[in-house]
Amino acid sequence: MAAEGSDRRLMKLVKTRIVATLGPASESPEVLKQLVLEGVDVFRLNFAHGSHAWLTELVRKIRQVSAELDRPVGLLGDLSGPKIRLGELAGGETYCQEGALFRFIRGTESVSSSDLTCTYEPLIDDVRPGDRILLADGTVAMQVVDRDPAAGWVQCQVVQAGKIRSRQGVNLPGVALSTPSVTDKDRHDLEWALQQNLDFIGLSFVRRADDIRQLQQLIQSLKPRFTPLVVAKIEKTEAIDDLDNILAVTDAVMVARGDLGVEAEISRVPVLQKLIIRRCNQLRIPVITATQMLDSMQSNDLPTRAEVTDVANAVLDGTDAVMLSGETAIGQNPVQCVRMMEKIAREAEVLVQPQVPQEASEQESRRARPITEAVTRGAVAAADFLKADLIVVATVTGRTALALSRMRGKVPIVAFTDREEVSRRMCLYWGVTPQLNRSVAQSPDSLLKHVIAWGRRNGILESGSRVILVGHAAWLGETHDLMMVHVVP
């Protein structure tokens, strides 16, 4: 069964990357292996749940599966950020009637049913009359009507009724929080993540570009062996307002639609998703679309038609990756969820249109050298004209593979590198299947020989297959790159 899953995954070479969140439903080595065989490219470790000891064991299992299957697998550590939650409510829950008055007070416990506490003590100092406070994933809304920080309370009136429970999330849309973007817990989690050589670090509740810079400076101050890529999670309206500045400094982006749909009007979320993805595509920034993509499959065998359409539309929007959360962390059948996600993505990719490079909008720091840029464009055009079976790229930093990915060509790309950390980073690049192999540092002939053997072994290449090979400057000198067309004998 594993072999069948492996063959299907390699033959199809699905271009949209799949990110899967780990949890109790997916922690066993057997399930992890099946998830990779079905198409998971990156595993997400949610630092809001689980101890470092449990996460360390997960990392060990994933790397063991990766080595056994000879497939690079990326690891994304997701920092919790300044997530605000309600404290303990009197009786555990209460109903908020429209027009009713409640108070937020300092502390961690409330005695009166009309008094609320939360994990973010500065809330009382940060909010002003007229500000909104959203509870229970935005299903309950209150408006601040009065405050007395000295006395330690803020009075609110319910404008959208509903039930709230202890420890539920609190959102303060449009409120400038005084808390830093990286909390003490985040720093502790980050130190662990760097010790484990994770490939990506997700920063939650990004508000401005400075949040990304501060995290990057903190990472550098900890002197990691490998510097992970920072993923800016866009889930606050302040981040939308500062989007271009955030994109100028981040390495990757996640459209985190859960909190974004609470912070902004939920009707705006599809438009914001398209805006963010389009801007990321223009700037050559890998982008992940996340939250509730196949949510009903946590308990059902099949997704809804709306969920299938949602995943397909994200692919058509230009997302590099789609992410599963509760579906693979606590769902009843995580492997089936990944299998379905891959199937939807494969169908939608047929309609993905090639992108024309826009010189004026691309940042130089994200581009390859001009000669390499020209060669990659020629390679995509040649592959399309010749109806090639594969584009093979040898890369040291992954930048050439990213340049190829950016063009959204029809022909699958296999990227060979001799650097383990680069192979795992490329797991987030659309259309790119990374492979770790030392022969890329030797010669075109040695790589081509390896590629043909690999392609035959996995049912991708046969006699008569056409391969476009893109080589790096190390073969020919710093001012040269190579594009070769090869017909498999």
All structural domains of the chain with their residue ranges: 2-81+183-349, 84-171, 359-487
In percent, the amount of the chain with pLDDT more than 90 equals 73
Please tell me the predicted confidence (pLDDT) of residue 161.
97
Of 268, 316, 313, give the one whose Cα is nearest residue 293: 313
Of the pLDDT bands very low, low, confident and very high (cuts 50, 70, 90), residue 360 is very low
Q: Are β-strands 162-165 and 169-171 bridged in parallel, bridged antiparallel, or unpaired? A: unpaired
Q: What is the helix (H) or strand (E) element at residue 116, kind and residue range?
A: strand 115-116
Residue corresponding to tokens 């691309």: 362
SS3 315: helix
Q: Which of the two residues, 243 and 92, has the higher pLDDT score?
A: 243
Q: Tell me the per-residue pLDDT of 269-327, one tens digit each, with 9 for 90 and over.
A: 999 999 999 999 999 999 999 999 999 999 999 999 999 999 999 999 999 999 999 99
The CATH number given to 2-81+183-349 is 3.20.20.60
Taking 70 as the threshold, does the pLDDT of residue 382 lie above it?
yes
CATH of 359-487, one of 3.40.1380.20, 3.40.190.10, 3.30.70.20, 3.40.50.720: 3.40.1380.20
Please tell me the predicted confidence (pLDDT) of residue 370.
78
Gap between the Cα atoms of 391 and 412, Å rounded:
6
Is 233 labeled as catalytic in the residue annotation?
yes
Beta strands in 367-480 (DSSP E): 390-394, 413-417, 432-436, 466-471
Please tell me the predicted confidence (pLDDT) of residue 1.
36
Q: To the nearest whole number, what is the mean pLDDT of the chain?
A: 90
Arithmetic mean of pLDDT, 90-118? 90
Q: Tell me the per-residue pLDDT of 325-352, one tens digit each, with 9 for 90 and over.
A: 999 999 999 999 999 999 999 999 999 9
Of the pLDDT bands very low, low, confident and very high (cuts 50, 70, 90), residue 83 is confident
Contact criterion met (CB below 8 Å) for 436 and 359: no
User: In this predicted structure, which of 21-30, 47-56, 240-249, 468-477 has the lowest mean pLDDT?
Assistant: 468-477
Taking 50 as the threshold, does the pLDDT of residue 99 lie above it?
yes
Arithmetic mean of pLDDT, 48-61? 95
Arithmetic mean of pLDDT, 109-128? 89
Contact criterion met (CB below 8 Å) for 102 and 456: no
Distances (CA, A) of 337 to 36, 163, 213: 12, 31, 35
Of the pLDDT bands very low, low, confident and very high (cuts 50, 70, 90), residue 364 is low
Q: What is the helix (H) or strand (E) element at residue 327, kind and residue range?
A: helix 326-329
Distances (CA, A) of 333 to 8, 24, 69, 422: 20, 11, 22, 31
Please tell me the predicted confidence (pLDDT) of residue 21.
98
From the list 83, 85, 268, 367, the catalytic residue is 85
From the list 132, 207, 233, 377, the catalytic residue is 233
Class of domain 84-171: mainly beta
From the list 16, 94, 117, 291, the catalytic residue is 291
Please tell me the predicted confidence (pLDDT) of residue 366.
67
Please tell me the predicted confidence (pLDDT) of residue 2.
39
Q: What is the pTM of this model?
A: 0.91
Of the pLDDT bands very low, low, confident and very high (cuts 50, 70, 90), residue 361 is very low
Arithmetic mean of pLDDT, 96-106? 96
Secondary structure (DSSP) of 126-162: H--TT-EEEETTTTEEEEEEEEETTTTEEEEEEEE-E
Of 378, 414, 410, 255, give the one whose Cα is nearest residue 325: 255
